[in-house]
Each structure stands twice: as C-alpha cells, then as structure tokens.
Amino acid sequence: MFTLNCKGKLLDIREPVVMGVINVTPDSFYEGSRMMQTNIAGVETAVIDPVLRKAEQMIHDGAGIIDIGAQSSRPGAPLLSAEEELFRLTGVFEALTLHFPDAIFSIDSFYSRVASEAAAAGASIINDISGGSMDRQMLAVAGRSGLPYICMHMRGTPQTMQQLTGYENVTLEVLDYFIARTEACRLAGIKDVIIDPGFGFSKNRRQNFELLRNMPVLKALNKPILAGLSRKSMVYKTLGVGPEQALNGTTALNTLALMHGANILRAHDVREARECIVLFREWQDADRQEDIAAEA
C-alpha cells in the first residue's frame, strides 16, 4: 500500500505527498492553473514553455506527482472528445519527461486512448475521475499499462453530476462504490489502486463535508487515499469568496484531510500543501513522543 510502482520509479507514500495540478485547458474553474493559447487559426493548444516553468516550480516546491489534464471537469463544462484532448496534449508529456526525467507525471483523463498515448509519451499514473464508467476500455488499458490507477467516485458525468446528489448515506454509498470498483480494478490486472472520494463531484456542500469528516471509513479498503480539495466550491462558497481567494480555506481542509488519512493531496498550490504535510508530520511525531514517554 505504501509504495507505488510508477514505471519503475518507486513512490513512497508512507509520508503524504503532494500532487500538483497543471491544466492545459482554457476553462478550468481556477484561472491560475490554465496553460493554453489560441493560435492564428483559432485553435487552442498547450504552451510548452509555461508548462515547463510551472512544472519546474512545482518540483522545486515539493510535488511528488504532477497531474496533467486537458479537459475541464467543472460542473457543466463542455465535453471534449479524446481527439481534442490529445491535440491539446501534443508534445506536453514528451517535453516534461525530457526536461524532468526523474519526476512522476500523471494523466488526468477518462478516455482509455488518451491514457494509453500519454503513458507511451511519459505519463506514469492514470487519474480517472469516472472510475472507468465513461470509457469501458479504461480498466483494461490501465491493467495492461502496469501503471497505478486513481479511481475517483462520481455519479454521471461533469455535465450531469450536480443533478445526481441524492444519497441516503453518502459515506456508506461511496464505500460500497469503492468496494465494487477496486474489485473490478483487481480483475482487470491493476496492481496499484488509489481511491479518490471525489469532493465536489455529484455531492452537495453538506455531503462533501460529511464525507471529509468520515474519510477514515475508507481506510478499511487498505488503499491509498487521494484528497482533491484545492480551491473547490466547498471551500470558497462556504467562505463567501471566489476560487482565487480560497487558498487559506484549502489549507485548513488539507490539514483535516491529512488528519483523516489522506496519503496524497491534489493541489494547485504545491508549496502550501507541502507545508501542511511538514507540520502534520511534526504534530504526529510529537504525539508519538508523548506515547513513548508515557510508556516509559
């Protein structure tokens, strides 16, 4: 559970790690993560140099993984095809792996073709917000790739998910979902599965906080847990601000996520998320020292 094999690079998650977010999209909900340009023909493509500079800064700030996505998953975002995603990603993974050969990059896509081509170009983790439900070939492709697979909970699609928030018990229903999906992953030959509760996806604000509070329940699955809370509406709507003013609130929720068992923090702001981890570990160590002293 505590080591992920990322194309032969072993990622130790006994200490929580930060997954930095880079979006080669023009419409992600947080403007600070967008890395796109429009050429003279009106076609949107990634800007390689800013992507490289952003990745370099994230690595410097302590990112253990950098997540690259080419499609916005904000509520109601237009659905792109796999071909459109691949066009936006042209040259991105090749440039990243050339400049940062020791870094670990993940592909954020629910398309098996995008995952496969990104893996061939240098991605070493697959991050699928649909848990394999939006492309029935995804689990098989992930299994054949040998890469770790992030399986997220979501109902419907980003276009419909906000109408699918009816739960009798959101925690138990998310747990049941992961029991079924992790078994499907096992049968598909996926060796390393990370579970993501899907904060903000087909859940209202109250359900998001309930799921965060009850996140230790998911530890029963004996899988690493990824918490994606960064600048989401559960933060900024609760505080009455916008995504741009949600860093402090994100830091507070990231700390709670660590205290409730998160192994990976997916974050737009890597340095601040890494600082959460450093302080959390110091708090843990102090607690252990108290236990040792009491036993002595």
Count helices and strands in the chain by DSSP H and E runs: 10, 12
Distance CA 38, CA 147 (A): 33
Q: Looking at 53, 266, 271, 274, which residue is catalytic?
A: 266
User: Which of 153, 119, 177 has the alpha carbon at shortest distance from 227?
Assistant: 153
- 136: which DSSP letter? T
**Angle value at C-alpha 291, between 1 and 11, nearest 5 degrees:** 20
Catalytic site residue from 113, 232, 274, 281: 232
Active site residue 9: no
205 is an active site residue? no
Cα separation, 30 vs 242, in Å, equals 9
Nearest to 24 by CA among 53, 47, 52: 47
Question: In 3D, which of 149, 84, 80, 99 has the Cα closest to residue 119?
Answer: 149
**Which residue type sits at 41?**
A
Burial class (CB within 10 angstroms; exposed 0-12, middle 13-18, buried 19+) of 146: middle
Burial class (CB in 10 A: 0-12, 13-18, 19+), 105: buried
Instruction: Write out the H or E segment, with its range, that includes residue 195.
Output: strand 193-196
- Locate 133 and state its tokens: 């439900």
Nearest Cα to Cα of residue 110 among 80, 77, 148, 143: 80
Task: State the Cα–Cα distance between residues 251 and 215, nearest whole angstrom.
Answer: 17
Q: What phi and psi, each to the nearest 5 degrees, are found at residue 195?
A: -105, 140
- Known catalytic residues? 232, 266
